[in-house]
Structure 1
Amino acid sequence: MRRWPEGPICSGCFANAMEIYGICDGCGTDRLLPGIGPDGQRWCTDCGGGLGDYTCTRCGREGWREHAGICGWCVLRDQVDELLDDGTGRVRVELTPLAALIVSMKRPRSGIRWLTRPGPCGILRALARGEVPLTHEGVHSLPPLKSSIYIRDLMVTAGILPPVDKFMFLFEQWWPAWLDTITDPEHRATLRLFLTWHYLRVFRAKIAARGELGYGLPQLARARLRLTAAFLNDLASRGRTLAETTQADLDRLFAQSSPHQRNALRPFLRWAMNTRRMPQLDLPPQQERPVTLVTQRQRIQLIRRIHDGDGMELTDRVLALLVLLYAQPLARIQQLTVTDIATGDDGHLHIRLGDPPTPVPAPFDQVIRQHVTARRNQMTAANTTSPWLFPGRASGQPMHTTSLRLRLHNLGIPNLTNRSRAIREMLRQAPPIIIAGMLGYSATGAEKIAAEYGTHWQHYVGLDRQPRRPPRLTE
């Protein structure tokens, strides 16, 4: 038997091995598996022999002993009970579900280290002692912000707080404080109206239609509002108000601004003209940047690299395949769940990107199956039962699109250029209406891309039909 690889083993690696559970390859029992066989088998302490006793003297559970004879779950429970004590020696009644959620994590060492930080400890003590109300606003008011957001998400998962759209809530907390930084009262009033009647209205409509807001739109709104405030300040420095803006002012602005800045200001300028807060002026036409494509050869080389998977995590391989094979945008990849992966009646793996579900060819089906059974970020209290195909660190949330984009970047896989090439290659093989349905694209958008790429329905092989005979005229 090979218990451990040759050479020194760090305490962290050893502790992680003490948190591996499953079916023993020797006796078939579901228990702790600290032993490693000569061919990579996972063995329990009895089958391994001489590995020691890892049974907790307090709860009787096998696991990593954080203290002498006491497992990590018991140590974690002691920490949680102490932090959430309401002063009576017991956990505050309203926070009992939160305590149970934290203690239920699969890897207690992560929770123990987390609760040694001053930020989470201070927030949990303040909640237990009733220093702030048990509301979203109350938890959000406790510093540091990153820890308060994480604990607030845990409280939503535990059922203590009602669910709200996370990004809408954060935006609504941000914009009043940001408006207070605008010194000019007229500018502040204009920006408040624009923010209320444009962005907030659009955000609420998006939540009503899609069920959630997402990360990108609020971030874009923050950047555009800052540029809008800078535009108003520039007008004021030239002695003009918004109502006195001239065509020369707009021409100068568009001549001196970058394409990004010009696009960021267009929503405000259109709103100001439509509401008659500035004169009706001409906006230069918006120029669309041509799509940059990788070659089909480069795409095939990347697919082969992902298939080989040398040194790549399963998460990165599945993410790259969804872009390279199925032209999926990151916002849609983020929303995929494990229920979208299923075996069809034909016995092959299918993924639900549109209607009907799309088949996954071999050997990539095995990569996705392995990822589903070994997803990341499921060892803490945040996502123990997460339905997301790519679980995030925040409780109940999928992995952030920024994190997904960074993973692709680290692999050397440009997202947009590869996705654009993938959709165009598929449109060469089947009519746009079929591709659009299977991949979740709009039929109009697929038709437009096909037309721009020079692919038309006339190029597809038609059905072998017998020509219809012309009607015979009878007297």
Structure 2
Amino acid sequence: MSCGLLPEVDKHLLHVESWLQRRLAELADQDHLPVLQRFATWHQLLELRERAAYRPLAASTVVHTTQEFNRAHEFLLWLMQRHRALDRLGQDGVDLCHATHKPHEHRSLRAFLAWAMRTGRMPRRLRLPRLNRVEGRPLTQHRRLELLRRVLDEAAGPVRSRAAACLMLLYAQPANRIVRLTLDDIVHQADGQVLIRLGDPPTPVPAPFSDLLLRARAERTNMNTAANADAQWLFPGRGAGQPLHHRSLADVIRDLGIPGRAARTAALRQLVLQAPAPVIAQALGFHHKTTTRLASEAGGTWSRYAPNDHTQ
């Protein structure tokens, strides 16, 4: 909790900063240290700080960032062993690297290669091989509605789990964002309308999910300890003043039979068919590029929507 004297600092950002500092110190005798230092400082940390200013970073960000840095270090060692210079690397070298490394290593190395080309540390004319996208089985709209009906059933499980699953199925919210919701994010108006603050403006919550959400707010778990007596999290955790860990919430949603990634994609795809992608992005806290891409893939027609006053 902030006392108002100091700005809040993202704990995952602090973790990455300290890890990179230790890692760079370990590589102090390496010839390619300056390149790694610039990559870490002017690409990785700069990007993470911009993201942290927009919303809290996920715990997975730490793993992803450290993997990117380690793959970059391994790639530079690989070049050195073959007596190749980064700034003189040819297309044959890029292709050889791609052929001799595993698919997950390609993905983690991509950020460094793109940064090196963009900043002139590698020849800009090089072509990076395409990455194969690994996607799970898509969730149809019929199946999504079927899952919504299931989690609204009292017999499906605890109120907390069902409310979180509905937030995922209705509004495409990931677990790490759901756990950051507070009591103030649920607005119960005098006329009975329930709103939820996921972006700007607050989003209307339809019945019967609105009733389930109000129950989740009134029947919060992990409230019996003195440390959590004044907790404002919608999904309090066991730690003092902390929300439920996002992995724990993802597990309980999965236990209800909800495929997280597929459910979020299906929900967002349906939403961008119903309203302009930028509107959905702002209301639900997504980046407009994400919603625009999904709208295009779904064949939405809102790209031809005239941005004007249509109230008359």
**What range is the shorter-chain TM-score in?**
0.7 to 0.9
User: Within 5 A, what are the aligned runs for 1:21-170?
Assistant: 164-170=9-15
> Structure 1, unaligned stretches of length 5 or more?
1-155, 466-475
Distance in 1 (CA, whole Å) between partners of 2:177 and 2:50 is 19
Question: Are the equivalent residues in 2 in contact too, given 1:167–1:214 (CA < 8 A)?
Answer: yes
Instruction: State the partner residue of 1:71.
Output: none
Give the secondary-structure state (helix, strand or coil) at the position aligned to 2:195. strand
The alpha-carbon distance between structure 1 residues 241 and 317, as it changes in their structure 2 partners (threshold 3 A), is same
Q: Does 1:176 align with 2:37?
A: no
The alpha-carbon distance between structure 1 residues 261 and 168, as it changes in their structure 2 partners (threshold 3 A), is same
Instruction: State the partner residue of 1:328.
Output: 173
Instruction: State the partner residue of 1:351.
Output: 196
User: How far apart are 1:252 and its partner, in Å?
Assistant: 1.0
| Residues 222-241 of structure 1, C-alpha deviations (whole Å, 9 max, x = no match) | 11112222222222332334
Distance in 1 (CA, whole Å) between partners of 2:218 and 2:116 is 52
User: Within 5 A, what are the aligned runs for 1:13-412?
Assistant: 164-182=9-27, 185-207=30-52, 209-210=53-54, 212-284=56-128, 286-287=130-131, 289=133, 292-310=137-155, 312-380=157-225, 382-412=227-257
User: Within 5 A, what are the aligned runs for 1:426-441?
Assistant: 426-432=271-277, 435-441=280-286
Question: Which TM-score applies when normalising by structure 2?
Answer: 0.81
Give the secondary-structure state (helix, strand or coil) at the position aligned to 2:187. strand
The alpha-carbon distance between structure 1 residues 420 and 203, as it changes in their structure 2 partners (threshold 3 A), is closer
The alpha-carbon distance between structure 1 residues 176 and 374, as it changes in their structure 2 partners (threshold 3 A), is same
> Structure 2, unaligned stretches of length 5 or more?
none
Identity of aligned residues (%): 39
User: How far apart are 1:174 and its partner, in Å?
Assistant: 2.0
Identify the structure with the greater helix proportion: 2
Instruction: State the partner residue of 1:55.
Output: none
Question: Are the equivalent residues in 2 in contact too, given 1:157–1:395 (CA < 8 A)?
Answer: no
| Residues 152-186 of structure 1, C-alpha deviations (whole Å, 9 max, x = no match) | xxxx7799x98543222222322233334448521
Instruction: State the partner residue of 1:132.
Output: none
The alpha-carbon distance between structure 1 residues 226 and 395, as it changes in their structure 2 partners (threshold 3 A), is farther
The alpha-carbon distance between structure 1 residues 435 and 202, as it changes in their structure 2 partners (threshold 3 A), is closer
Question: Are the equivalent residues in 2 in contact too, given 1:206–1:213 (CA < 8 A)?
Answer: yes
| AA aligned opposite 1:298 | R
Paired residue for 1:415, among 246, 260, 271? 260
User: How far apart are 1:367 and its partner, in Å?
Assistant: 1.8
User: How far apart are 1:450 and its partner, in Å?
Assistant: 2.9
Distance in 1 (CA, whole Å) between partners of 2:173 and 2:48 is 23
Instruction: State the partner residue of 2:296.
Output: 451
| Residues 331-357 of structure 1, C-alpha deviations (whole Å, 9 max, x = no match) | 432332111111124312221223443
The alpha-carbon distance between structure 1 residues 169 and 431, as it changes in their structure 2 partners (threshold 3 A), is closer
Structure showing greater radius of gyration is: 1
| AA aligned opposite 1:307 | L
Question: Are the equivalent residues in 2 in contact too, given 1:224–1:265 (CA < 8 A)?
Answer: yes
The alpha-carbon distance between structure 1 residues 172 and 459, as it changes in their structure 2 partners (threshold 3 A), is closer
- Deviant stretches of 4+, over 6 Å: 156-159
Give the secondary-structure state (helix, strand or coil) at the position aligned to 1:375. coil
User: How far apart are 1:453 and its partner, in Å?
Assistant: 1.4
Question: Are the equivalent residues in 2 in contact too, given 1:246–1:281 (CA < 8 A)?
Answer: no
Give the secondary-structure state (helix, strand or coil) at the position aligned to 1:239. coil
The alpha-carbon distance between structure 1 residues 231 and 379, as it changes in their structure 2 partners (threshold 3 A), is farther
Question: Which TM-score applies when normalising by structure 1?
Answer: 0.56
Give the secondary-structure state (helix, strand or coil) at the position aligned to 2:32. helix
Question: Are the equivalent residues in 1 in contact too, given 2:273–2:302 (CA < 8 A)?
Answer: no
| Residues 254-293 of structure 1, C-alpha deviations (whole Å, 9 max, x = no match) | 2333443223212212333344444445132545738652
Higher alpha-carbon deviation: 283-292 or 328-337: 283-292
| Residues 386-416 of structure 1, C-alpha deviations (whole Å, 9 max, x = no match) | 2222223444443333333333333321112
Give the secondary-structure state (helix, strand or coil) at the position aligned to 2:72. helix
Bigger RCO (CA 8 Å, 6+ sep): 2
| Residues 52-83 of structure 1, C-alpha deviations (whole Å, 9 max, x = no match) | xxxxxxxxxxxxxxxxxxxxxxxxxxxxxxxx
User: How far apart are 1:211 and its partner, in Å?
Assistant: 6.1
| AA aligned opposite 2:37 | R
Question: Are the equivalent residues in 2 in contact too, given 1:382–1:393 (CA < 8 A)?
Answer: no
| AA aligned opposite 2:84 | R
Question: Are the equivalent residues in 2 in contact too, given 1:326–1:423 (CA < 8 A)?
Answer: yes
| AA aligned opposite 2:47 | V
